[in-house]
Amino acid sequence: MPVADPRDFQDPIAALIEHLKVQEAITDLTDRRIFGDALPPEAGMPDYAYTIRWSGGGAFEELATIIRPRLEVRAYGKTDQDAARLYWRAFGILHGLENLIVGNARILSILFDPGPAALIDETLNTPFKLGFMSVIAQFGDP
């Protein structure tokens, strides 16, 4: 059986972002301000924004076609209630999701950890909800 070339892997974060950007329940709040890693400096602080970044575990291995990363999510809002609204909408779309195919990535499952934590981004002076999810993803020919 041929092994997928790691250079052909689609980042599971990119796959999740693509999926969220077509979800009206999310885009009606974020206006598609959904980012991998941190908020870009040019984004300033919109009313709502959602970020997904690597949190550890399951790094790409040379010959792996299945990875199990843990991802950090942040849901930003003008108020704590706004941040919670966005967090729980995204949670409702992603938690328990199975067999999502985006590009050459298949997200086999997504499970959120208990949470979220309510925090303030000191740089932006903006509330956000911090959560974590475990993902099982397969790459190659889904």
DSSP string, the chain: -PPPPGGGPPPHHHHHHHHHTT-HHHHHHHTT-EEESSPPGGG---SEEEEEEEEES----TT-SEE--EEEEEEEESSHHHHHHHHHHHHHHHTT-EEEEETTEEEEEEEEPS-PEEEEETTTTEEEEEEEEEEEEEES--
pLDDT tens-digit readout, 11-51: 789 999 999 999 999 999 999 899 998 888 776 777 899 99
- Tens digit of each residue's pLDDT (9 = 90 or more) over 41-95: 776 777 899 999 998 655 555 556 788 889 999 999 999 999 999 999 999 999 9
The pLDDT tens digits of the residues spanning 117-142 come to: 999 998 888 999 999 999 998 876 54
Indicate the pLDDT class of residue 1, thresholds 50, 70 and 90.
very low
Tokens of 97: 């999701």
